[in-house]
Chains A and B, each alone.
Chain A
Amino acid sequence: MPAVFLPFIAIFLVLFGVFPTAAQQSAATQVQVKLGYLRAYEPQLTLSVLDVAPRDEGVAGADVAIADNNTTGKFLGQTYTLDVTEVKLDADVKAATEELISKGVNYLLADLSAEQLLSITNLARDRDVLIFNVGATDDRLREEACHLNVFHTAPTRSMLADGLAQYLVWKQWRRWVLIHGSHERDKLFADALRRAAERFGGEILLEKEFMDTGTARRTDSGVVQIQRQMPVFTQDFPEHDVVLVADESEVFGTYVPYRTWTPRPVAGTAGLIPSAWHPASEQWGGTQIQNRFAKANGRRMLWKDMAAWTAVRVVGEAVTRTNSAEAAKTADYLRSPDFSIAAFKGQKLTFRTWNGQLRQPIFLGDGRSVVSTSPQEGFLHQVSELDTLGVDQPETTCVLD
């Protein structure tokens, strides 16, 4: 923390009469917790301008949680700081990681690609740094490429697909057709949807790939062509209940709803979208975090903001309960049965001890409101119903050393 802030904080503490309290509570122990935030960012085009990610997506959530932790911290003699570093989308992140660690960061939030994340896990481990993955949904980071020092507050593609599939099956909409994009991440989400169909009794009757031919995302008269092209593209579908869309790359997904040959609901990356949060969720005390977030940032809270908020709160909870800022103690605590975190999702959230994934409900939203939240009623599990979402312990390929 820059030294210039210290007098300010001292004044703040005096103003609020906190010193005697802190003294009583924790014998004036001062715990400083330094978090880092490393993100790969470049402006991205989207099919709809409404879907362009805010400049501070994710970071804004972490900032709110830092403020929350500091409010709690003033009663316990704890202070939390966040150091944010941005790199280009496919940049080498090792130097940036080294720099954050050299500043004393021992908790690192990462909004990076899977490759970037994997390039720093050993580096972080050797310097006793815990990584919180707040952005990557790749299942392999929790499976064959899992690491003991990485916790994931972002959900996996399989959790998202399972959350969606449970709802469609609950609705008795079991006959699906699948349109997926031609990029790797689109295919990975398509894989997750196929797996979900098999697990929950959906049937994918036909699949089609929508090739990215490199067209401009938006043109003044593009809408006219799309209105003509999409019906033709979907004309040969067999009788089905739902059109599934896997287009993380923003090539065509937004154009599917209302333009199909037969009138059918659309779900996946367009239409009914599974997510770790919804900007309109007000259930389970959600209004409180939404208000707090909107007041601080002047915009609605998105899923990556929630993943980052949760990661920072997880650190705050561990530091408070273990009375220590040591990453090793935090890691042990997060895997212990004593740990749980409240994150406005109606139940306590815990980590899967076998791969460090945060168990969490999945919101299903249509862009305006929350339609439902999975797990759905009736999908039972012997340990936690949240483990009906994503890869479960008996199936995991993760080996933590």
Chain B
Amino acid sequence: MLGRLSCLSGALVFAVGLATPASAYMVYVSNEKDNTVTVVDSTTMEVVHTIDVGQRPRGITISHDGKFIYLCASDDDTIEIIDTATNQIVGSLPSGPDPELFVLSPDGKTLYVANEDDNLVTVIDLDSKSVVAEIPVGVEPEGMGISPDGKTMVNTSETTNMAHFIDTATNEITHNVLVDSRPRFAEFKPDNTEVWVSAEIGGTVSVIDNESREITQKISFEIPGLRSEAIQPVGVRITADGTKAYVALGPANRVAVVNTETYEVEKYVLVGQRVWQLAFTPDQKTIISTNGVSNDITFIDVATDEPVQSVTVGALPWGVVVSPQ
């Protein structure tokens, strides 16, 4: 429904002669290998633009107003700012060395960045483009999740194997929760009650209660014909209504659909090779996976959990973000 409205308003805008295209959403994909961001129209599912960016682009997010893309150019040790109106790089942020993943605060004012080489989480104020805090965490910080109420940030450290809970008011760690090997991603449930943390080498997703800060569920994955070493959970996304979680399973080439009530895997959606990250369209009708080795992204229909179409992007697609309404 929302999508329809958005289409309609887009069409109206177009009709009055503004340059904004009439499509619903733009999908931005960071391509780790060829130093580009591919822009895909979510309606036509076609590539509309390719942006040359810094070296080894990985983590990607978008400002809440949709005006700017923030992109970790890991090997350039910077975060690039891309103007979505012109698809030009218009600035950069002081990220600290080797930024890989980050998360934007719900109020859109603060960016929390994982700096893998320095065992730090860097807190950046977007207005002043300045570093306001550096928080020492475990070895190889990677996954970054923030609670929808903005009070708690979770960072995962890949060699320490912990989820570090950080109070955003004080920028200090309050809890450390041991999870399985090589935790890659942290995703809060929309109601703030749980954090889901994927462990790439451990092959599990730990569900951590945000009240007690203890693991209450551990989800594992079994796919007939695949050895357990090939099942490597990375990206996690939970629907806005909180009922379903999607887990990208890396070289298992599938996205698992998990029921958040029962914590059972209900389906494995076959997408492309080495599934890395996931993003919903704002209308929640579609979830998009980046498939690194097959150089494409897959649109999955959220209602049926069927793959709809795969679109070839750049080399080694890594992260994905979709423009807001």
Contacts and interface: CB of A to CB of B under 8 A. Distances in A.
B285 to A, nearest CB: 34
Contacts of A76: 176
Nearest to B162: A75
A273 to B, nearest CB: 25
Contacts of A347: 201, 229-230, 232
Contacts of B140: 285, 288
A116 interface: no
Given A313-B159, A320-B178, A340-B201, A384 B227 contact: yes
A249 B6 CA distance: 72
Contacts of B175: 21, 24-25
Nearest to A349: B201
B98 interface: yes
B181 A340 contact: yes
Interface string B163-207: 010000000111110100110000000000000000011110000
Interface residues of B, number: 31
Interface in A288-332: 288, 291-292, 295, 313, 317, 320-321
Nearest to B170: A17
Nearest to B184: A285
A122 interface: no
A288 B117 contact: yes
B22 interface: no
Interface in A108-134: none
A342 B159 contact: yes
B227 A72 contact: no
A16 B212 CA distance: 24
B176 A21 contact: yes
A264 B229 CA distance: 36
Interface in B215-237: 227, 229-230, 232
A30 interface: no
A291 B229 contact: no
Contacts of B160: 68, 71-72, 75
B305 interface: no
Interface string A335-353: 0000011100001100000
Given A340-B201, A342-B159, A342-B181, A71 B138 contact: yes
Nearest to A345: B201
A313 B230 CA distance: 22
B84 to A, nearest CB: 29
A348 B202 contact: yes
A288 B138 contact: no
A385 interface: yes
B229 A385 contact: yes
B117 to A, nearest CB: 5
Contacts of B164: 75
20 contacts: A17-B173, A24-B174, A71-B138, A71-B160, A72-B138, A72-B162, A75-B160, A75-B173, A285-B158, A288-B98, A288-B158, A291-B98, A320-B161, A320-B178, A321-B178, A340-B202, A342-B200, A342-B201, A347-B232, A385-B229
Interface of A: 16-17, 21, 24-25, 68, 71-72, 75-76, 285, 288, 291-292, 295, 313, 317, 320-321, 340-342, 347-348, 384-386
Given A72-B157, A75-B173, A285-B140, 10 more contacts: A17-B172, A21-B175, A21-B176, A75-B176, A288-B116, A291-B98, A320-B178, A342-B182, A347-B229, A347-B230
Interface of B: 98, 116-117, 119, 136, 138-140, 157-162, 164, 172-176, 178, 181-182, 200-203, 227, 229-230, 232
